[in-house]
Amino acid sequence: MESTVAGSLDRGEAVVLITGAARRVGARIARELHGAGARIAVHYRHSADEAEALCAELNAHRPGSAAPFQADLLDIDSLPAMVAACVGHFGRLDGLVNNASSFFPTPVGDITASAWDDLIGSNLKAPLFLAQAAAPALRASGGAIVNIVDIHAERPLRGYPVYSIAKAGLYGLTRSLAIELAPGIRVNGVSPGAIVWPEDDQFPPAERERIVEQSLMKRIGSPEDIAGAVRFLLFDAPYVTGQVLAVDGGRSVHL
């Protein structure tokens, strides 16, 4: 495929693959980019019903503008096939958003090999191998990658060492891929602070209050905040690559 120099994506033509797009922040990113004119490849692992519903919602606005793609991101060998299916369906690929992530505590003394494989696999290994699989199509379109990192990539979260290690790796991967894939593909990251609380109540009320107090904005963020940052980096930042944008209400100033 012919190579081109990366720039801003064409909103009316762009196809963006978003991992973990069926729910929560991933679904908000999908809606945001779709609203900007992109066609959306909705990746999911287990959330088939939510993925189908989201695609139906998006296709009701623009027929044929969204499709679901199932894959277990821990199965590295399956990732090229998912990329090929996406390109086969839409005819191109312009953007990749590595959003899918496992998040759970791993206090030292209780760390297991399976926890390591899950956290490193979803947060670091899968983004690398998915970017590698997508690179030929992205290079042909002058595309871009956005990785969803975390402010704890630089400031480890107590009780979550493996998660923090994985996100630190993703931070480094973002900058490394920017070097390796330039000038044909831009690669950037977004580092969220507290955006939505974990569904399994990992943070008790007192901890949530402490986190909010650390924010200069005195509140948590919203999925819209992350989606807007992703949209900017994909569509409005043609001369930005190798950067990781913190979207944390100023919380990292105190950490």
Separation between Cα atoms, residue 42 and residue 17, nearest integer Å:
6
Cα radius of gyration rounded to whole Å, the chain? 17
8 lies in a domain? no
Specify the pTM: 0.93
Q: Which residue has the higher pLDDT, 13 or 254?
A: 13
5 lies in a domain? no
* Among 48, 24, 196, 194, residue whose Cα is nearest residue 100: 24
* Among 82, 96, 92, 101, residue whose Cα is nearest residue 186: 96
Q: At 192, phi and psi to the nearest 5?
A: -75, 150
* Residue 199 belongs to domain spanning: 15-248
Q: At residue 40, what is the residue type? A: I
Q: At residue 153, what is the residue type? A: A
229 lies in a domain? yes
3 lies in a domain? no
For the stretch 173-189, pLDDT in tens is 999 999 999 999 999 99
- Check if the beta carbon of residue 39 is closer than 8 Å to that of residue 118: no
Separation between Cα atoms, residue 196 and residue 204, nearest integer Å:
14
Q: What's the chain's length in residues?
A: 255
Q: Which residue has the tokens 């990366």?
A: 6
Confidence of residue 5 (pLDDT cuts 50, 70, 90): low
The C-alpha torsion from 47 through 31 and 69 to 181, rounded to 10°, is -130
Q: What is the pLDDT of residue 210?
A: 81
For the stretch 114-167, pLDDT in tens is 999 999 999 999 999 999 999 999 999 999 999 999 999 999 999 999 999 999
3-class DSSP assignment, residue 155? coil
Q: How many domains does the chain have?
A: 1
Confidence of residue 234 (pLDDT cuts 50, 70, 90): very high
Q: What is the pLDDT of residue 216?
A: 86
113 lies in a domain? yes
Q: What is the pLDDT of residue 255?
A: 65
Q: At residue 186, what is the residue type? A: R
Choose the most confident range, by mean pLDDT, from 3-17, 47-61, 192-206: 47-61
User: Cβ contacts of residue 60 below 8 Å, gap of 6+?
Assistant: none
6 lies in a domain? no
Sheet of strand 144-148: strand arrangement: 66-70, 39-44, 15-18, 95-98, 144-148, 186-192, 244-247
132 lies in a domain? yes
- Check if the beta carbon of residue 25 is closer than 8 Å to that of residue 99: yes
Mean pLDDT of 18-37: 98
Mean pLDDT of 72-92: 98
CATH number at residue 191: 3.40.50.720
Q: Which residue has the tokens 């390796």?
A: 180
User: Sign of dihedral through CA atoms 120, 124, 130, 132?
Assistant: negative
> How many other C-beta atoms lie within 10 A of the C-beta of residue 136?
15
Which positions are annotated as active-site residues?
163
254 lies in a domain? no
Q: At residue 214, what is the residue type? A: Q
